[in-house]
Amino acid sequence: MEQSQHTEMMSVPRIGDKAPEFKAITTQGAINFPGDYTGKWIILFSHPADFTPVCTSEFMTFAKREPEFTALNCQLVGLSIDGLYSHIAWLRTIKDKIEFKDMKNIEVTFPLIEDITMEVAKKYGMIQPGESSTKAVRGVFYIDPKGMVRAIIYYPLSTGRNFDELKRALIAMQTADAYAVATPADWQPGDDVIVPPAGSCGVAKDRMENKEEGVTCYDWFFCTKKLSLEQVNNPPKIK
């Protein structure tokens, strides 16, 4: 297909946008998105198709690790452009028949949206015709407790997602919100965090000379401080 045929105008949510709303049927009943999950983080993720191997490995991993996301006040919601009966049959097959790595008898209890009309997939830019016009790419949308899109990651059909990274990014955003900090490359909970530069260079330069207790500055624009694992795991409540 020619490149020009792929560039159909689509409105796609961006970081900082309000998450597009929709009503949908899922394997856990009807949902009103994102309203039903107000006050929680949401990871809305798409997969190309039921009864495919990469997707199966991903669903098993997400289902096994769901309690870790629940503990972070995060609801998982899956989507593919298959119908409800396909979803149900696939999830039953996973539970009854698939053993993969250390996983067996895995029950998927988070909602999986049916989207045969592609309405939701199109709304979220999950159909990327250069990759496939009949399957959703592997999209991951992080939506915060106020219903705002906070991060978006896309993977191609061939590449299964890294669930440690999906969790790490969630904790990093929650930590940034709770402590007004940023997180450096490859940050892991318990590592030092970045103290964002103050509004003006003058103020930031001042910080080099009058360093706050516990702050290390590598230069006027690059300061870090300790944030313990205990603090990351017990963030103050955000109003």
25 close to 113: Cβ distance less than 8 angstroms:
yes
Among 53, 129, 196, 214, binds ligand BEZ (CB under 6 A): 53
69 close to 174: Cβ distance less than 8 angstroms:
no
The CB-of-142 to ligand BEZ minimum distance in angstroms stands at 22
Dihedral sign computed on CA atoms, order 111, 117, 123, 124: positive
Is the Cβ of residue 37 or residue 155 nearer to ligand BEZ in the bound state? 155
The CB-of-135 to ligand BEZ minimum distance in angstroms stands at 6
Is the Cβ of residue 26 or residue 80 nearer to ligand BEZ in the bound state? 80
DSSP codes, 77-100: EEEESS-HHHHHHHHHHHHHH--B
Among 12, 24, 25, 54, binds ligand BEZ (CB under 6 A): 54
Region of 51-59, 83-91, 117-125, 212-220 interacting with ligand BEZ (CB under 6 A): 51-59
Catalytic site residues?
55
Region of 50-58, 61-69, 203-211, 216-224 interacting with ligand BEZ (CB under 6 A): 50-58
Burial class of 151 by CB neighbour count within 10 A (0 to 12, 13 to 18, 19+): middle
Q: CB count, 10 Å around CB of 238?
A: 10
Q: At 216, which helix (H) or strand (E)?
A: strand 215-219
135 is an interface residue for ligand BEZ by CB under 6 A: yes
The CB-of-57 to ligand BEZ minimum distance in angstroms stands at 8
Return residues touching ligand BEZ (CB under 6 A): 48-49, 52-55, 135, 157-158
